Amino acid sequence: MSTVLSEQDLALRCHDISVGLGVKDVPDFETLPEVGLMVRLALHIRGLPRIDYEVLKLVAYHYLQISPMVLKNVIRDLDEAEFIRVLSEGQTIKAIIPTVPYYDELYTNIGEFTKSEKNLNEAEQLALTILDKLTHSPVAKDSLVQLGADNKLLNRNLVIGNQGNYIITKRVRGKDVVLSPVFFSENADIYADLVAKAGAKSIQRLLKLVEGFQGVPLQIIETQKEINGVKLTDDEINLLKRLASDGAVKPPSISTSHAGTNHFLFTPKPGAIRLNPTKREVYERAMALVSAVRQGQFLPKAYRIRSPYAILNSLKDKGYLRANTEAYEQYKKLTFMRVGRLEPLSNGWHVFRLNATEENLEAIGIAISLVDTGGVKGMEVDEDARIALGQDQSYVESLIGSKQLREREQLPLSEEHQEQIENMFLGGAQNN
């Protein structure tokens, strides 16, 4: 089978799979993991100045799970893709200078490079196609037969995915449901149950609608029976309520004296592969920011927010929001999360003022992206690795000196590959 993914999606899925595999070696995959590591390294060096190669080797190994042997190939590919300039003395690499483009272009360019310069084998193409399908919704395992792959190859791919931490198979309601913890990391059992009961297309449709209107209040959905002008059936509304009440989506909530307690719906929080643990709290703050402005947009007492996008941009640029009488209840939760503080004026008026930390500024940027496009990029970057890349060799050596050396793991061979190896050795023995 030939992959029909866009260049951007091709690079994204290669990255997801390679990060999920970590240090596991898969004999079935020849090119895919290296392309994924190419993306991983590019994400971490983007925007940095010259990096000493010895520092790069240490950081790549200890933070990004790229061995020195593989790193040379990744550096070669990044150089060919014009993402870096390599400074060498003879055959020895001394340093690199990153010239990595911004996120969308990064993924697109690496995808183009892969399609023109690399050959993905059948197992790799199938792995990418399966994972791309699982980005939208969990699916019944039986439906994967429609991909047209050989049954043995399909089952082997699912085994690799399960052992490689980017696929989970759940048995519910007498059906096997396949999902990806990359995109549905929390309460996988609930999603599997809903897919088995209502079907993958129903879940996919609802999640797509929420993605296009992140932070939409559940009360508004129930009242208007629509999301952003798209009508919903009672069954679909009940599905959304199940996702919210069972904690699959874990919607933030805001309580006010005039509108009661309201929940704000978001698509599932990405898993660790897509959302670096250091970014998790930042993402929580971003959702809280979006919820606060959606509260003012849909459930105000008197002062309605007409453009959440404009309000968030104003907060980012000015560092505060103009005073009004609803600010206290609307933004109170943000003060508990250390996003900002409420400064009282007279007669119950408050100014919300941002705590201008690096994390909060990043959270506002994410909140703006969620309102504007429904998604965010770059959340998989490990900031500790980026900081280490800017230090000298002795500093990095002392930083990672206490860490244990990692042992690479090997996933077992398929029966077919095992048989080929046995036949090869048996043939060699018979010829002697």
CA 194 to chain centre: 22
Would strands 320-324 and 24-25 be described as parallel, antiparallel, or unpaired? unpaired
The neighbour count for residue 163, using CB atoms within 10 Å, is 16
Per-residue pLDDT of the chain (432 residues; tens, 9 = 90+): 545 899 999 999 999 999 999 889 899 999 999 999 999 999 999 999 999 999 999 999 989 999 999 999 999 999 999 999 999 999 899 999 999 998 889 999 999 999 999 999 999 999 999 999 999 999 999 999 999 999 999 999 999 999 999 999 999 999 999 999 998 877 788 889 889 998 999 999 999 999 999 999 999 999 999 999 999 999 999 988 887 776 555 678 999 999 999 999 998 888 888 888 888 899 999 999 999 999 999 999 988 999 999 999 999 999 999 999 999 999 999 999 999 999 999 888 999 999 999 999 999 999 999 999 998 887 888 888 998 898 888 888 887 765 555 556 666 666 666 666 566 556 554 555
Phi, psi of 43 (to 5 degrees): -60, -40
pLDDT value, residue 426 = 60
Residue 238's contacts (CB-CB under 8 Å, 6 or more residues apart) are: none
pLDDT value, residue 120 = 95
pLDDT value, residue 399 = 75
pLDDT value, residue 98 = 97
Three-state DSSP at 85 gives strand
DSSP β-bridge partners for residue 97: 85
pLDDT value, residue 416 = 67
Domain boundaries along the sequence of the chain: 7-137+144-163, 199-372
Counting DSSP H helices and E strands in the chain, the numbers are: 18, 16
CA 367 to chain centre: 15
pLDDT value, residue 3 = 54
SS (H, E, C) 241-281: HHHHHCCCCCCCEEEECCCEEEEEECCCCCCCCCCCHHHHH
Sign of CA dihedral 276, 282, 285, 286: negative
User: For residue 265, which of 248, 282, 283 has the smallest C-alpha distance?
Assistant: 248
pLDDT value, residue 94 = 96
Cα 362 from Cα 238, distance rounded (Å): 34
Q: Which uninterrupted H or E stretch holds 262?
A: strand 260-265
pLDDT value, residue 403 = 59
Q: 93-131 b/e with 16+ CB inside 10 Å = b? A: bebbebebeebeebbbbbbebbbeebebeebbbbbbbbb
Cα 103 from Cα 374, distance rounded (Å): 16
The neighbour count for residue 392, using CB atoms within 10 Å, is 10
Two tokens at 407?
Answer: 């042992």
DSSP β-bridge partners for residue 216: 265
pLDDT value, residue 427 = 57
Two tokens at 265?
Answer: 């719906």
pLDDT value, residue 375 = 86
pLDDT value, residue 276 = 84
